[in-house]
């Protein structure tokens, strides 16, 4: 057993505590920097001469005892100091202020790589955000967004082509091309030929432009950091979600509302404009691809809440609600057993897209692997207003993994992971 002095909290003991440790554990604790060896000066008996009192003699005794300990524990290693790979800035706000200086800031010139010919001009270049700050913004984006985190994401350094089975009917195959046969004994097996297609995703550029006043730049870097992180993460997260729902597919995501696989449920006969009936949502649920229903969510325009809240099914002389409100959690409401997201990306009541049933596990996205974000700055865009422009860039794309709706094996109406209610006018 050897006595160690703890340099870190360990196994319930505090820093500075002395603990007796088995010989086989001493080496690892010291090598990991968790503890150091306690050096004791030998106690003198009454028969021995008085212990030394001068500093030089005591230091020599301590040195010799440490030397002897190291001889007996030849495998002990003095832990090396970990390499400091962090950026020279203490906060994202401090880094942002350094970006304004450009290469006049020595730390910026040595640490960051210019992405263009002219660092100080917004249109020509910028600086990569240090990994720890970029990650903070991307994490905030994921927390601010509702839909993008639900999608199947593939990080990639380049554009991505993903194969999928191009199936429009399940009449002969559940999966599209792989056919199961049940031959009699001695009968040859029949081959199957899946019909593959390819989903091509391109890393389109998404940019956010934020203006800051000179007064804000001159204040605490933490104030600037909070402002930039909040503005950028919120704007980009909502833009991603908007593209996933309503994107055109030209230079941006192909949104589910413009995808060929979207199923649109028609209104009821003589249904008034701008209304939502129980029959509407029941028919929407019936057109959802059955395995997707367990993962599906409702996206509903917030101004449809009064109508959704009164939906019910008539049972004899009474009825049963199809909308369930969670009083303790107003955001935890459900419709036909699936959660509701009151979404700003839905259209106004009465327009296609005001209520959507979707399984975002069947929507694929691609993001730039690695840091994934860069920034540039310009004092010229808003020079007269005493404002500085920060531009943030990420790469992103997405589209449904289905090329078209499918006709089920036993049924006539097509199904899809994405269903919307048609216009009621």
The pLDDT tens digits of the residues spanning 255-277 come to 999 999 999 999 999 999 999 99
pLDDT at 201 over 80: yes
My answer on whether 51 and 121 are in the same domain is: no
Q: Is the distance from CB of 129 to CB of 108 less than 8 angstroms?
A: no
95 and 67 within one domain: no
Which is higher by pLDDT, 287 or 237? 287
pLDDT level of residue 358 (50, 70, 90 thresholds): very high
Domain assignment present for residue 86? The answer is no
**CA separation for the pair 143, 139 (Å, rounded):** 6
Of 26-30, 33-37, 136-140, minimum mean pLDDT range? 136-140
Q: Which of 12, 44, 72 represents a domain boundary (last residue)?
A: 72
Residue 353 shares a structural domain with residue 234: yes
- State mean pLDDT over 308-316: 83
**For residue 223, what is the DSSP state?**
H
294 and 397 co-located in one domain: yes
Instruction: Please indicate, yes or no, whether residues 64 and 102 belong to a single structural domain of this protein.
Output: no
What distances in angstroms separate CA 161 from CA 197, 245, 366, one per listed residue?
Answer: 10, 21, 10
Residue 189, pLDDT score: 63
Same domain, 38 and 145: no
Residue 106 covered by a domain = yes
Closest C-alpha to 373, from 170, 175, 162, 229:
229
Which residue, among 240, 256, 270, 205, has the nearest Cα to 405 in the 3D structure? 256
103 and 63 share one domain: no
CATH number for the domain harbouring residue 329: 3.30.2400.10
pLDDT at residue 418 greater than cutoff 60:
yes
φ, ψ of residue 336 in degrees (nearest 5): 50, 35
Number of domains in the chain: 2
% of the chain residues with pLDDT over 70: 61
Flag whether 378 is in a domain: yes
77 domain-assigned: no
Residue after which a domain boundary falls, among 39, 72, 105: 72
Is residue 274 one of the residues assigned to a domain?
Answer: yes
User: Same domain, yes or no, for 423 and 337?
Assistant: yes
Alpha carbon 258 to chain centroid, angstroms: 25
Are 100 and 169 within one domain?
Answer: yes
pTM of the complete model: 0.65
Does the residue 275 lie in any domain? Answer: yes
- Whether residue 281 sits in one domain with residue 254: yes
Q: Is residue 185 part of a domain?
A: no
Within this chain, do residues 62 and 173 fall inside the same structural domain, yes or no?
no
Mean pLDDT of 343-353: 95
Domain with 107, as residue range(s), is 91-178+194-425
Does 166 reside within a domain? yes
The reply to whether 353 and 265 lie within a common domain is yes
- For the segment 75-90, the average pLDDT, to the nearest whole number, is 49
Distance between CA 329 and CA 174 in Å, rounded? 39
Domain end: 17, 42, 72, which one? Answer: 72
CA distance 154 to 363: 11
- Separation CA 87–CA 268 (nearest Å): 61
Task: Give the pLDDT band (50/70/90) at residue 399.
Answer: very high
């Amino acid at each position: 057993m050897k006595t160690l002095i703890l340099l870190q909290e360990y196994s319930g003991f505090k820093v500075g505590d002395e603990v007796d440790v088995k010989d086989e554990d001493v080496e690892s604790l010291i090598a990991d920097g968790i503890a150091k060896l306690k050096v004791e000066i030998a106690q003198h008996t009454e028969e021995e001469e008085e212990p030394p009192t001068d500093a030089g003699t005591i230091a020599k005794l301590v040195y010799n005892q440490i030397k002897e300990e190291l001889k007996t524990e030849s495998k002990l290693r003095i832990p090396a100091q970990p390499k400091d790979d962090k950026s020279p800035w203490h906060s994202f706000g401090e880094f942002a202020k350094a970006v304004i200086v450009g290469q006049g800031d020595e730390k910026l010139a040595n640490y960051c790589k210019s992405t263009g010919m002219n660092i100080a001009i917004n249109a020509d270049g910028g600086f990569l955000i240090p990994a720890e700050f970029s990650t903070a913004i991307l994490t905030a984006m994921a927390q601010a967004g509702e839909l993008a985190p639900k999608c199947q994401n593939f990080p990639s350094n380049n554009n991505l082509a993903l194969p999928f089975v191009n199936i429009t009917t399940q009449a002969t195959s559940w999966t599209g091309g792989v056919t199961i046969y049940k031959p009699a004994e001695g009968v040859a097996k029949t081959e199957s030929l899946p019909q593959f297609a390819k989903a091509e995703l391109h890393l389109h550029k998404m940019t956010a432009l934020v203006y800051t006043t000179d007064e804000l730049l001159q204040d605490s870097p933490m104030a600037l950091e909070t402002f930039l992180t909040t503005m950028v993460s919120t704007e980009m997260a909502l833009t991603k979600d908007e593209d996933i729902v309503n994107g055109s597919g030209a230079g941006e995501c192909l949104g589910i509302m413009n995808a060929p696989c979207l199923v649109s449920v028609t209104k009821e006969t003589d249904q008034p404009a701008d209304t939502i009936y129980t029959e509407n949502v029941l028919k929407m649920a019936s057109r959802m691809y059955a395995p997707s229903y367990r993962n599906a969510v409702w996206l509903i325009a917030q101004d449809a809440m009064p109508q959704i809240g009164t939906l019910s099914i008539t049972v004899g002389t009474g009825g049963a609600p199809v909308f369930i409100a969670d009083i303790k959690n107003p955001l935890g409401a459900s419709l036909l057993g699936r959660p509701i997201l009151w979404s700003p990306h839905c259209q106004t009541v009465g327009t296609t897209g005001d209520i959507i049933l979707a399984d975002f596990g069947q929507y694929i996205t691609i993001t730039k692997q690695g840091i994934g974000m860069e920034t540039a700055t310009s004092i010229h865009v808003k020079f007269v207003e005493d404002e500085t422009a920060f531009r943030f860039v990420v790469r992103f794309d997405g589209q449904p993994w289905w090329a078209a709706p499918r006709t089920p094996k036993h049924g006539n109406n097509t199904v899809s992971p994405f269903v919307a209610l048609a216009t009621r006018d």
